[in-house]
């Protein structure tokens, strides 16, 4: 290799590695396309992980790439655009509050198994939009070696696999101190000082710092029992605050994303004690710096720990603060002084944050009823999705051509009015391309070839019983008639300990193999962010049928809107704010039910009626295209995470 070739190769490697170590590439079309060009087989094998891919490029392949002037030019252009992005002006005003965003999970990309579902995906969109808008936000979480489980379907049974991640092949870097040693914090857990290293993950202009103990404590996300859960939450809360201090990061606002993070409040108060405050004074000072987002609309979904668990996990640390055991437990009791009550993480956060919000208007109402003592301080900020990350390449091309400004200010309704000028043929071609791309991937993953011209309905989410994944199958005879003009794609995981959820999943898998449904219903295993992007882009109709009001928000249907799909949903979560009668379909009538059997029967009948009488017959018609336009026009400006993060910045973080 000549000196010139060697220089080009080194420059190419530098640019590619710089981009690979920042997840900005994952929502940039040209950057995302680079990796498959290098080695398409390894790109698939590595679950779209460019850091791992680059580790295995052979010398002769580097020489080929460096000799390809067009490829080098594309890499240079991407790297230049990336550096410009980091330095670009931001929406966020000068002097904006500096935020530490605590979350047990972050759903950022399929190559990083740091998430299980909606909570993590929401956190990922939050930090992506914070980066785009220039909001000074830093994420705090744990680094899981095994993460959440990989799903394997054996016959009809769900099996859980836990492959270990190789941190050297992830886009993370170990944080080091001034002596080039790993920066560490110690966290008091169960009478021991547990040491945790700190890793940095770059997401555009924002960073996430991840704690790793190197043992079982940070092996799995939501693995183990209640004892594992409390120790992980101590690590996240106490350890996260200590990590911020070790990193020298000044923070104005601590945003606690769900109750898992509430122990951060206690560490912040302990720090105030060291400065001379009394305990009550310390809590008052901390309250002014903490905000809380709750995501769970049912009491059973909030973490509660027994007297013995709290004593075992934090008793020694509590004693070092000079606090009585009862006083400590009362921090998380609805009824302080009730010795029979457990410590609830949500109550700690509700009582000691200056504001609390649900994640949709309806969820805010449900939360105020659930927590009446704190109801007056509970508002809502409706969730949204990152407008670029969740839009397909055909969608980006269409919007770039007809909706200038959609990337920068998607909250502006005027931008989306441009959809009315897009011709019917172009809208149908856009939808056809999204659907065909999805069906190609379905065929690759399952071997099932669905009809590229047929109405395709998608359902993909966690298989918790309240989400009623099998509601469609309650009347097989009506379903057979519906399938004469449609096809359905299912995906999702049931928690390994959720036996009822696993039975629902197994029923759907079994029916997808039945001769009456084969080739019209398909189940795709190992649901993750990659599959979520494919399905929400390709589905013509997105089905969501939880028992109202059990869905706090839900965001998958918001992704469908961006890609020209339509929602068929219970009036739960965000859909009551989006539905207007012309932009999708509402399965129910929004009433309150006290008899779940009657509720299921009514909703199932209504679901079949809509599919059989309205949706399947109208597919592809002028009325269908008009509904697509209305969906984009009315919902797109309301349900992006750019709008959501602006709401947090203006209404919550600013105090």
Question: pLDDT (tens digit, 9 = 90+) per residue, 457-468?
Answer: 999 999 999 999
Q: Can you give the pLDDT at residue 8?
A: 87
Average pLDDT of the residues in 209-217: 98
**Buried (b) or exposed (e) across 255-291, using 16+ Cβ within 10 A?**
bbbbbbbbbbbbbbbbbbbeeebebeebbeebbebbb
The pLDDT of residue 4 is above 60: no
Q: Can you give the pLDDT at residue 318?
A: 98
Q: What are phi and psi of 481, to 5 degrees?
A: -65, -40
Q: Can you give the pLDDT at residue 146?
A: 97
- Closest by CA to 260, choosing from 286, 296, 289, is 296
Residue 69 burial class via C-beta count within 10 angstroms: exposed 0-12, middle 13-18, buried 19 and up: exposed
For every residue of 274-330, DSSP letters joined together read HTT--HHHHHHHHHTTEEEE----SGGGS-EE-HHHHHHHHHHHHHHTT--HHHHHH
Q: Can you give the pLDDT at residue 211?
A: 98
What distance in Å separates the CA atoms of residue 222 and residue 237, rounded to the nearest whole number? 16
Q: Can you give the pLDDT at residue 7?
A: 86
Token pair, residue 342, equals 């457990």
CA torsion angle for 381, 382, 385, 388 (degrees, to 10)? Answer: -70
Cβ atoms < 10 Å from Cβ of 465: 17
Q: Can you give the pLDDT at residue 602?
A: 98
Structure-token match 């039945």, residue found: 514
What are the CA-CA distances from residue 126 to residues 129, 378, 461 (Å)?
5, 20, 19
Contact in structure between 43 and 35 (CB atoms under 8 Å): yes
Q: How confident is the model at residue 184 (pLDDT cuts 50, 70, 90)?
A: very high
Residue 307 burial class via C-beta count within 10 angstroms: exposed 0-12, middle 13-18, buried 19 and up: middle
What distance in Å separates the CA atoms of residue 551 and residue 74, rounded to the nearest whole number? 44
Cβ atoms < 10 Å from Cβ of 64: 13
Per residue in 615-647, pLDDT tens?
A: 999 999 999 999 999 999 999 999 999 999 999
What distance in Å separates the CA atoms of residue 50 and residue 23, rounded to the nearest whole number? 10
Is the torsion defined by CA of 27, 31, 35, 40 positive or negative?
positive
What distance in Å separates the CA atoms of residue 440 and residue 283, rounded to the nearest whole number? 56
Share above pLDDT 70 across residues of the chain, in percent, rounded to a whole number: 99
Residue 58 burial class via C-beta count within 10 angstroms: exposed 0-12, middle 13-18, buried 19 and up: exposed
DSSP helix/strand/coil, 358: strand
Q: How confident is the model at residue 614 (pLDDT cuts 50, 70, 90)?
A: very high
Residue 248 burial class via C-beta count within 10 angstroms: exposed 0-12, middle 13-18, buried 19 and up: exposed
Contact in structure between 142 and 212 (CB atoms under 8 Å): yes
Q: What are phi and psi of 59, to 5 degrees?
A: -60, -40
Residue 450 burial class via C-beta count within 10 angstroms: exposed 0-12, middle 13-18, buried 19 and up: buried
Average pLDDT of the residues in 18-39: 97
Structure-token match 């269409």, residue found: 398
209 forms beta bridges with 140, 200
Q: Can you give the pLDDT at residue 411?
A: 98
Q: Whole-model pTM?
A: 0.97
What distance in Å separates the CA atoms of residue 521 and residue 489, rounded to the nearest whole number? 6
State the distance between the two ends of the chain, measured CA to CA, in whole angstroms.
Answer: 60
Is the torsion defined by CA of 621, 622, 623, 625 positive or negative?
positive
Per residue in 72-82, pLDDT tens?
A: 999 999 999 99
The pLDDT of residue 1 is above 80: no
Q: Can you give the pLDDT at residue 300?
A: 86
- Closest by CA to 268, choosing from 241, 246, 247, is 241
Ranking 86-100, 189-203, 477-491, 553-567 by mean pLDDT, the lowest is 86-100
188 forms beta bridges with 193
What distance in Å separates the CA atoms of residue 402 and residue 183, rounded to the nearest whole number? 49
Per residue in 358-407, pLDDT tens?
A: 999 999 999 999 999 887 889 999 999 999 999 999 999 999 999 999 99
Q: Can you give the pLDDT at residue 3?
A: 57
Q: Can you give the pLDDT at residue 92?
A: 87
In whole angstroms, how large is the CA radius of gyration of the chain? Answer: 25
DSSP helix/strand/coil, 340: coil
Query: What mean pLDDT, rounded, does the chain reach?
Result: 96
Cis peptide before 549 (omega within 30 of 0): yes
Q: Can you give the pLDDT at residue 287?
A: 97
Contact in structure between 189 and 235 (CB atoms under 8 Å): yes
Q: Can you give the pLDDT at residue 51?
A: 98
Residue 336 burial class via C-beta count within 10 angstroms: exposed 0-12, middle 13-18, buried 19 and up: middle
Per residue in 257-307, pLDDT tens?
A: 999 999 999 999 999 999 999 999 999 999 999 999 999 998 889 999 999
Share above pLDDT 90 across residues of the chain, in percent, rounded to a whole number: 96
What distance in Å separates the CA atoms of residue 121 and residue 111, rounded to the nearest whole number? 13
Q: How confident is the model at residue 483 (pLDDT cuts 50, 70, 90)?
A: very high
Q: Can you give the pLDDT at residue 2?
A: 57
């Amino acid at each position: 290799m000549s000196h010139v070739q060697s220089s080009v190769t080194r420059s190419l490697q530098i640019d590619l590695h710089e981009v690979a170590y920042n997840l900005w590439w994952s929502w940039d079309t040209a950057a995302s396309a680079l990796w498959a060009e290098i080695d398409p087989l390894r790109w698939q094998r590595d679950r779209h992980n460019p850091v791992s891919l680059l580790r295995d490029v052979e010398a002769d392949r580097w020489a080929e790439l460096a000799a390809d002037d067009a490829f080098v030019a594309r890499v240079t252009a991407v790297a230049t655009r990336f550096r410009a992005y980091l330095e670009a002006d931001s929406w966020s005003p000068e002097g904006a509050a500096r935020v530490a965003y605590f979350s047990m999970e972050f759903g950022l990309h399929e190559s990083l198994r740091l998430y299980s579902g909606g909570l993590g995906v929401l956190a990922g969109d939050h930090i992506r939009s914070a980066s785009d808008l220039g909001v000074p936000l830093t994420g705090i979480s744990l680094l899981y070696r095994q993460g959440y489980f990989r799903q394997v379907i054996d016959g009809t049974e769900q099996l859980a696999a836990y492959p270990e991640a190789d941190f050297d092949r992830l886009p993370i870097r170990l944080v080091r101190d001034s002596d080039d040693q790993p920066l560490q914090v110690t966290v008091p857990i169960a009478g021991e000082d547990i040491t945790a290293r700190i890793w940095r993950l770059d997401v555009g202009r924002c960073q996430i710092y991840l704690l790793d103990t190197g043992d079982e404590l940070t092996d799995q996300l939501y693995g183990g029992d209640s004892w594992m859960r409390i120790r992980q939450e101590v690590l996240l809360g106490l350890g996260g605050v200590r990590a911020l201090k070790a990193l020298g990061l000044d923070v104005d606002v601590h945003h606690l994303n769900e109750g898992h993070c509430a122990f951060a409040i206690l560490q912040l108060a302990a720090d105030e004690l060291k400065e001379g405050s009394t305990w009550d004074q310390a809590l008052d000072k901390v309250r002014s710096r903490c905000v809380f987002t709750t995501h769970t609309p049912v009491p059973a979904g909030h973490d509660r720990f027994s007297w013995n668990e709290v004593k075992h996990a934090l008793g020694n640390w509590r004693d070092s603060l000079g606090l009585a055991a009862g006083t400590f437990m009362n921090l998380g009791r609805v009824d302080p002084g009730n010795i029979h009550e457990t410590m609830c993480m949500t109550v700690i956060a509700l009582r000691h944050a200056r504001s609390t919000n649900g994640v949709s208007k309806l969820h805010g109402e449900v939360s105020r009823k659930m927590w009446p003592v704190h109801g007056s301080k509970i508002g809502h900020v409706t969730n949204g999705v990152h407008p670029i990350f969740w839009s397909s390449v055909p969608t980006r091309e269409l919007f770039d051509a007809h909706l200038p400004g959609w990337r920068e200010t998607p909250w502006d309704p005027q931008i989306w009015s441009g959809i009315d000028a897009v011709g019917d043929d172009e809208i149908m071609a856009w939808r056809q391309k999204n659907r065909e791309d999805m069906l190609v991937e379905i065929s690759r993953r399952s071997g099932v070839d669905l009809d590229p011209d047929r109405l395709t309905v998608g359902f993909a989410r966690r298989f918790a019983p309240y989400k009623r994944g099998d509601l469609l199958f309650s009347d097989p005879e009506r379903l057979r008639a519906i399938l004469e003009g449609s096809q359905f794609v299912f995906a999702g995981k049931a928690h390994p300990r959720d036996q009822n959820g696993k039975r629902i999943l197994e029923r759907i898998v079994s029916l997808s193999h039945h001769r009456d449904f084969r080739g019209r219903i398909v189940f795709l295993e190992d649901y993750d962010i990659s599959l979520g992007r494919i399905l929400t882009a390709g589905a013509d109709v997105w089905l969501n049928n939880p028992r109202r009001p059990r869905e706090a928000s839900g965001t998958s249907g918001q992704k469908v809107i961006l890609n020209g799909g339509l929602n068929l949903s219970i009036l739960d979560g965000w859909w009551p704010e989006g539905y207007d009668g012309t932009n999708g379909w509402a399965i129910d009538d929004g009433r309150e039910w006290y008899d779940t059997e009657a509720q299921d029967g009514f909703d199932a009948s209504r679901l079949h009626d809509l599919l059989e009488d309205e949706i399947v017959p109208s597919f592809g018609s002028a009325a269908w295209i008009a509904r697509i336009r209305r969906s984009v026009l009315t919902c797109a400006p309301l349900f992006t995470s750019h709008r959501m993060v602006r709401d947090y910045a203006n209404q919550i973080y600013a105090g």
